[in-house]
Amino acid sequence: MIRAIRRLGLVFGLLAMALCINLTFQQFVLARSINAQPGNQRTVLAEYQRERGPILVGTKPVARSVPTPKSQYKFLRTYSDGVLYAPVTGFYSSLYGSTGLERTENEILSGNDSRLFVDRIEQLIAGRVPEGGAVQTTILASAQRRAAEGLGTQVGSVTAIDPKTGAILALAQSPSFDPNGLATHDAAAQQDYYESLSAAPNKPLLNRPLVQTIPPGSTFKLVTSAAALENGYEPTSVLPGPAAYQLPGSTRMLNNWSNAPCGPNNRTTLANALAISCNSAFAYLGNELGADTLRAQAEKFGFDSSFDVPMTAATSRFPEDPDPAQTAMSAIGQFDVAATSLQMAQVTASVANKGVTMYPYLVNQVLAPDLTVLSQTQPKEFERAMSEANAGKLMGMMVQVVNSGTGSNAQIPGVNVAGKTGTAETGGGRPNIAWFVAAAPAEDPQVAVAVAVENAGAAEVSGNAIAAPIARSVIEAVLQR
């Protein structure tokens, strides 16, 4: 009997020990992840008891909280110009959690950041409800609005960057969504709106500038040109430019968009090949350089790397082991090359920044509730993509694209604009993508912009006709600030 009681006591002791271990694990190890789970009503209600800090564009709050004393949620998150800034702010929802800066900067916005500890103590002593801090973005309001207006109802994205710092000046998409519809305290209305957004064919909840990877088409010829210049070619180097290029090891012919040779006697210079977007010359050049050289150059611009801006951007990619025919197609931004508009803005910004690629960032300052500065983002170099001399040569070639080549619709009186058009095939019966990338002024670039229009609704998709005017408008907004 005594032995049985001892065994029973041992079992209960082990169960008690297991319970203690589980409670300790839940309280100390899993507590943060449990609290961060979307829909955790205890955490949600606690956060809604205090005023969440604003997200600022310049000094204007584009996301802020307003009191709702008659609700169990004491504050309602509201968004001015919600559709315009949704790719930046994301949403803050009692049912679906948060996205965008609302998610990545939640600690400071909710007031839980350790840097606000003293501020919380002072507020409690003064008998005031603790408040969250503020996040000031790098977005330039006029550039953001021009980008969104330029896209209109077309499906696509626009990213603009300060080449010298990596600060993101515009991050726009179409279609977008209204975060107010997900911030409402009406749970049924919130659910209906979320389900309609989730079911929409063009994915308005997708952060297109950061996440949508698509073929960059001829804008990738900037990468191929950079690789060529870094490996001994000059803008005046002569390349074959027949009307069509025989893909190595294949019966397929790669045609020029004009179906014509790129110069007299089927010859052209590297500079002219870029200006008129000569497929045959760049396919040939891609095979001469080789896939490894192209990949190494792309990676110096940021391909195959992930960037947190602080939202995590999708990784743009160059194919791992293409054969010669695939290498030729990759050199013109086709086959399995895929990039976000952020990535192609980075490529353009790198060339404009004398060959140096900067880390992109979206948060300028983090502020306490009284708007004192807690932190200021410092620009950071990612890698030198090309020499300063070769970057200058490529900028000159890009100016030729706009002044006398395929990018004429990006011309701005009195301003030298450097650019590159692109039309990317997507296959599967899907429409082509119209691209345009640009930087200006060419002598001292203040902005680099990438425009990708995925479904322009036009019979003939042209980067110059569809995307270049949007880029020009964004550039004008930045230069007029």
- Annotated catalytic residues are 218
Alpha-carbon distance of 364 to 379, in angstroms, equals 10
User: Can you tell me the distance from the alpha carbon of 174 to that of 145, in angstroms, rounded to the nearest whole number?
Assistant: 12
DSSP for 334-352, please give it: -TT-BB-HHHHHHHHHHHH
Alpha carbons within 13 A on the beta-carbon side of 370 = 7
Burial (CB count <10 Å: 0-12, 13-18, 19+), residue 444: exposed
**Beta-strand pair 168-174/155-161:** antiparallel
Task: With H, G, I as helix, E, B as strand and everything else as coil, classify residue 466.
Answer: helix
Interstrand relation of 134-137 and 55-57 (parallel, antiparallel or unpaired): parallel
Distance of CA 183 to the CA centre of its chain: 24
DSSP state of 153: T
**How far out from the chain centre does Cα 330 lie?**
22
* Nearest CA among 386, 231, 245, 429 for reference residue 329: 245
